[in-house]
Amino acid sequence: MEIKLKDFIKPSQITAFVNFNGSFKNLESNQKIFYVLDDKKSHDKIVRDYFIEKIIDFSESKFQDACKMVLLDYSILDKNWNQLSKTEMKRLQFVEALLNRSETILFQNFELGFYGKDRSYYQKLFVKLTKYGKCILCFTNDITFLFGMVTNFILFRENDYIFVNDFYEDEIYQYIEMPPIISLIKNLNQKNIKLGSYIETKEVLKAIYRSVNAGDKL
């Protein structure tokens, strides 16, 4: 279904969208909104030449600072865009959004291809950017990427959408895969072992430890 992005743009806020099947690849980025997508973009140019063309006041020092911020090797400046991996392209789009000073940055499936510390870093970076007035629109089917970033999100269904404020809401998992941590807690709840609606592994382990000490059988 189609949506009007302007209805969801709010400065200093992250708005998350789950199970959205639309595409943004034909939309042009600008200073109002920048689209960081999971599609491989074809630009038969050296990255340096591309940025000199796209960014009016392009500065290599600012480019280097932006690369550090998004965990991208500065040497990418001398590579051909078409030789980059998908994750490099996403990071590079992120850099362009920052150098472009776009007020809103839209990320679609950005987390795909990133693991462990990198994912955690980007979650914290998104939050940090809102402290500087940025609006972040995050489109994903990976609920775990939203943990710690938002407390509610928009779930798209067949013909409409609803606002969800509980990661344990059963309806969510009619549309997307349930994370292992939520599946575990739900299974324990069914066994009458109430651990609470945790979303962090360390908190689940603490709760299990307390439950075992209390005499519950897992």
Domain boundaries, the chain: 5-174, 179-218
Q: Which two tokens stand for residue 112?
A: 């795909």
The better pLDDT of the pair 95, 44 is held by 95
Q: What is the DSSP letter of 40?
A: P
| Mean pLDDT, residues 70-84 | 95
Residue 123 scores a pLDDT above 70: yes
Q: Which residues contact 62 (CB under 8 A, 6 or more apart)?
A: 99
Write down the pLDDT at residue 140: 97
Q: Which residues contact 165 (CB under 8 A, 6 or more apart)?
A: 151, 152
In which band, very low, low, confident or very high, does the pLDDT at 111 lie, cut at 50, 70 and 90?
A: very high
Residue 47 scores a pLDDT above 60: yes
Helix (H) or strand (E) holding 13: strand 13-18
In which band, very low, low, confident or very high, does the pLDDT at 193 lie, cut at 50, 70 and 90?
A: confident
* pLDDT tens for each residue of 21-37: 999 988 999 999 999 99
CATH superfamily of 5-174: P-loop containing nucleotide triphosphate hydrolases (3.40.50.300)
DSSP string, 150-215: -S-EEEE-SS-EEEE--TT-GGGGGTSPPPHHHHHHHHHHHTT-------SHHHHHHHHHHHHHTT
Mean residue pLDDT of the chain comes to 91
- Tokens 């109430």 correspond to 194
Residue 9 scores a pLDDT above 80: yes
Residue 88 scores a pLDDT above 90: yes
* pLDDT tens for each residue of 131-172: 999 999 999 999 999 999 999 999 999 999 999 999 999 999
Write down the pLDDT at residue 171: 96
Can you tell me whether residue 29 is helix, strand or coil?
A: coil
Residue 184 scores a pLDDT above 90: no
Using CA atoms, how far apart are residues 165 and 153, in angstroms rounded to an integer?
7
In which band, very low, low, confident or very high, does the pLDDT at 216 lie, cut at 50, 70 and 90?
A: low
Q: Is 103 exposed, middle or buried (0-12, 13-18, 19+ CB in 10 A)?
A: middle
Write a three-state SS string for 79-136.
CEHHHCCHHHHHHHHHHHHHHCCCCEEEEECCCCCCCHHHHHHHHHHHHHHHCCCCEE
Can you tell me whether residue 8 is helix, strand or coil?
A: coil
Question: Are the C-beta atoms of residues 161 and 4 closer than 8 Å to each other?
Answer: no
pTM over 0.75: yes
Residue 72 scores a pLDDT above 80: yes
Q: Is 200 exposed, middle or buried (0-12, 13-18, 19+ CB in 10 A)?
A: exposed
